[in-house]
Every structure is written in C-alpha cells, then in structure tokens.
C-alpha cells in the first residue's frame, strides 16, 4: 500500500475538546468541527501524542498554542488500478491478476465470459466481460472502468492471445485472420479504447510479447509474424505516448506454463507437402510447454518491474530468453537461421527432396 506522510499545522487559541468520531477512536474537535475534516480527512489519535514531548497537559481539554505542530500522520493513497485481458484458466493473465492483487492493486480481470473468472472473483478481483476483438465491448468495458475509478486506469495489460501452429502454405483464411485479429488488431483496439483513462493517470500500457518475434520457429510463421508486428507497434506507440507521460512496456516472453495451445493436436491437410514430417508437426504443437517457467514465478517478476515508478521499456521473462537475447544481440541474423533450419523434421524433409523421394 502506498503511503504519504503529512504534517498538519493549526492556528487556534480557543479551548478544544476531545471528541469521538466513530464511538471508539478519539480525535480533536475544534469549534465543533472534527479536525480530520479540515485536514484532508486525517484522524489524530491521542495515543500518538506525548504530553511531555508536546508540552500538552494530560487532560481531555487543553488550549492549542498558536501555530502548534501536531504529530505527523500517515495518509493512505488510493490503490493503483490495472486491467488485464485474457485472464481465463491457467495462464499468464490469470497469474498476473492474482499477483497484482496480492501486491495491493485494484485489479480488473477480463474474459469473454465473466463466469470464466470465478476463481479470481473469489479473491476479490473485479471481473469484466470483454471480447478484445469487439470494439463495442472494448468501449463498454472502458466506460465501466471509468465509472468505477473516476476516469483513470494506471496500467493496461494486453495479454489476450491466440496460438497458431501451421505451415505457412497450409494456413486457411480463418487461421490468418484469427491470429492477427486477436494478437495484433485487438491490441490496437484496446489501446485506443483505454488510452484516455491511461493518459489521465499518466500510467503504463503493457504488451505481452514473445521471443518468437525474432526466432524462426518452425510451423509458427503466422504467430511469429503477429508478435513481430506487435513489437514494432509497441516501439512506435511508446514514442507517440511519451509526450503525455505514458509509459509503454513490452514483456518479451519466453516459455511460460499456459493453456494457450490447448490440448488438441491439429493434423495437416491431406494436400500438404509436409505430410512426410507430420509426426514432427504434431510434436511441435506441445513444445512451448517444455521446460516452461511457472506462471506464478513469471508473474512475480513482471509485477515487480511494472510496480516501479518508471517501468522498463522492454523486460525479458520466461525460459530460454537469455540464450535468445545473447544470440540476437551478439550474433548475425544468419546464425539464428542456421541453428533452426534442421528442427522439427526440416532436415529429414530436405533429405527426402534431395533424394527425389518427394515430388513437388
């Protein structure tokens, strides 16, 4: 909880009496008005004032000397607010909501259906129905948050995402539109919808990015492209919002335990040229969870960074992030291609094509 220290001066020479504001907690009363009403709603407990130190007679009725300094008190500041998209089930959004709540934030968790957030509402977290691909629902959610907070939002976390594992040549229109609409277009929509609240708070917009923006992960071309586009959008948004005092942070995420990939395994279409390595394609669909960081550990690190007065522009979190950072920082772009070119059956497929066993 954030606290501000205040000292209160009161110039008065008339007699004062001790009153009781709530029947149990004594406070000062001057001219029939509780002192805390004149001093930003502070209450001054008699137990916090030493008669010897302050030269006050130990009675319940005493004169306050002219310009007398009363004991400093602590004032509780309003809780900071955060809205997180995509909080359903086991995943990053759910873990972030719980961690922000544990750190004293007022949390608005969203999902397509509020009933999917019962585990969070049981903790005291506020649920809001939101389909991030709907501009109408975003506008309604922003209005709802504004009505509850007085028109401000300290942190907006764009977490909602959609997986898409399919060879680029086999992707359908639904694949292409679905992953771009959820992973990129919806982020633009929510930034536009909630920007007035964040600007008023001089707050922070957070994008949950991915290391796949810079890693040619086999069969992930569409998903990787959405994260690369999100990275570029975020960097430019940061420049455009800086004059308004808004921070923009990208969490470059590695492997994290989540349900984004779902449990079902997709098969290749019968016309796919990748059928000879379909077993590798099926295996690929579950690899994001191999050695993945626990969601609670991920959330603790992220919330710690976002709680700073000036959050970092980029924060790397999750398994495998440091090897990727080292490679992309100190090695040529071709090196990443070299270490990925033989993964998930690409070496086998290359050999079959070279030997003439596959006719394209």
Does 346 fall in a domain?
no
Domain end among 17, 48, 76: 76
Q: Does residue 350 belong to any structural domain of this protein?
A: no
Which range is least confidently modeled, 13-17, 183-187, 243-247? 13-17
The mean pLDDT of 38-63, rounded to a whole number, is 41
Does residue 325 belong to any structural domain of this protein? yes
The predicted pLDDT at position 257 comes to 87
Mean pLDDT for the chain overall = 83
**pLDDT above 80: residue 4:** no
Q: Which of 30, 22, 39, 36 is nearest to 62 (CA)?
A: 30
Domain-terminating residue out of 27, 47, 76: 76
* Residue 208 near residue 253 (C-beta atoms within 8 A): yes
pLDDT of residue 342: 86
State whether 200 and 301 are in the same domain.
yes
Residues 178, 223 within the same domain: yes
Same domain, 184 and 52: no
pLDDT tens per residue, range 185-198: 999 999 999 999 99
Same domain, 295 and 261: yes
55 and 98 together in one domain: no
Residue 66: pLDDT over 50: no
Shared domain for 86 and 56, answered yes or no, is no
Q: Minimal CA–CA distance to 100: which of 120, 130, 128, 76?
A: 120
> Do both 139 and 218 map to the same domain?
yes
What is the distance, to the nearest Å, from the Cα of residue 182 to the centroid of all Cα atoms in its chain? Answer: 17
Task: Determine which of 17-26, 131-140, 202-211 has the lowest per-residue pLDDT on average.
Answer: 17-26
Examine residue 352 and state whether it is found in any structural domain, yes or no. Answer: no
Residue 255 has pLDDT above 50, yes or no: yes
Domain boundary at 51, 76, 101, which?
76
pLDDT tier for residue 48 given thresholds of 50, 70 and 90: very low
Q: Name the band, by pLDDT with cuts 50, 70 and 90, for residue 77.
A: low
* CA 85 to each of CA 112, 165, 207, 329: distance values in angstroms, whole numbers, following the listed order: 9, 22, 10, 31
The answer as to whether 17 is a domain residue is yes
- Kindly indicate the confidence band of residue 292, based on its pLDDT and cuts at 50, 70 and 90: confident
Q: Which residues contact 237 (CB under 8 A, 6 or more apart)?
A: 191, 205, 248
Q: Which residue has the higher pLDDT, 150 or 344?
A: 150
| Residue 289 pLDDT level (bands cut at 50, 70, 90) | confident
Same domain, residue pair 54 and 114: no
Q: Which helix (DSSP H) or strand (DSSP E) does residue 317 occupy?
A: strand 314-317
Which pLDDT score is estimated for 37?
34
| Any domain includes 353 | no
- Band (pLDDT 50/70/90 cuts) for residue 262 is low
User: Is residue 39 predicted with pLDDT exceeding 90?
Assistant: no
pLDDT of residue 291: 78
Pair 164, 250 in one domain = yes
175: domain range? 81-333
What's the rounded mean pLDDT across residues 36-51?
A: 38
Number of domains in the chain: 2
Mean pLDDT, range 296-323, rounded to an integer: 96
Alpha carbons 223 and 248: distance in angstroms, whole number: 22
Note whether 70 and 120 are same-domain residues.
Answer: no
Residue 213: pLDDT over 80: yes
Gap between the Cα atoms of 220 and 164, Å rounded: 7
Question: Which value, in Å, is the radius of gyration of the alpha carbons in the chain?
Answer: 28
Residue of 8 and 192 predicted with greater confidence:
192
Confidence at residue 264, expressed as pLDDT on a 0 to 100 scale: 61
Does some domain include residue 105?
A: yes
User: DSSP class of residue 181?
Assistant: I
For the annotated catalytic residues, the residue numbers are 223, 227
Residues 29 and 139 in one domain: no
Average the pLDDT over each of 31-45, 70-84, 251-265 and give the range with the smallest value. Answer: 31-45
**237 within domain boundaries:** yes
Residues 117-151: tens digit of each pLDDT: 999 999 999 999 999 999 999 999 999 999 999 99
CB atoms within 10 A of CB 349: 17
CATH code for position 92: 3.40.50.720
Q: Are residues 47 and 130 in the same domain?
A: no
The pLDDT score that the predictor gives to residue 290 is 74
The angle subtended at Cα 47 by Cα 42 and Cα 52, nearest 5°, is 115
């Amino acid at each position: 909880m954030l606290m501000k220290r205040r000292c209160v001066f009161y110039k008065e020479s008339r007699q004062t009496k001790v009153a009781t504001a709530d029947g149990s907690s004594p406070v000062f009363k001057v001219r029939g008005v509780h002192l805390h009403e004149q001093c930003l709603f502070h209450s001054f407990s008699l137990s916090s004032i030493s008669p010897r130190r302050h030269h006050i007679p130990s009675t319940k009725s005493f004169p306050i000397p002219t310009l007398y300094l009363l004991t400093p008190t602590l004032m509780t500041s309003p809780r900071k607010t955060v809205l997180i998209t995509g909080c359903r089930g086991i995943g990053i959004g759910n873990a972030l909501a719980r961690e922000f709540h544990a750190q004293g934030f007022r949390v608005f968790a969203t999902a397509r259906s509020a009933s999917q957030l019962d585990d969070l509402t049981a903790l005291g977290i506020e649920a809001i129905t939101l389909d991030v691909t709907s501009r109408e629902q975003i506008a309604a959610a922003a209005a709802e948050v504004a009505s509850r907070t007085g028109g401000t939002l300290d942190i907006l976390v764009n977490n909602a995402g959609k997986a898409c594992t399919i060879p680029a040549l086999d992707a359908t229109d639904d694949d292409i539109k679905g992953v771009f609409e959820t992973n990129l277009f919806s982020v633009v929509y929510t930034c536009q919808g909630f920007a007035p609240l964040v600007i008023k708070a001089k707050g922070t917009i957070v994008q949950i990015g991915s290391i796949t923006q810079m890693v040619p992960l086999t069969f992930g071309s569409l998903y990787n492209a959405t994260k690369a586009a999100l990275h570029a959008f975020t960097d430019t948004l940061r420049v455009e919002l800086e004059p308004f005092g808004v921070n923009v942070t990208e969490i470059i995420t590695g492997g994290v335990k989540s349900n984004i990939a779902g449990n079902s395994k997709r098969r290749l279409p019968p016309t796919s040229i990748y059928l000879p390595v379909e077993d590798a394609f099926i295996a690929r669909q579950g690899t994001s969870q191999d050695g993945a960081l626990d969601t609670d550990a991920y959330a603790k690190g992220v919330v710690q960074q976002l709680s700073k007065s000036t959050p970092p522009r980029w924060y790397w979190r999750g398994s495998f992030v440091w090897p990727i950072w080292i490679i992309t920082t100190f090695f040529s772009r071709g090196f990443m291609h070299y270490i990925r070119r033989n993964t998930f059956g690409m070496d086998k497929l290359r050999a079959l094509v070279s030997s003439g066993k596959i006719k394209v």
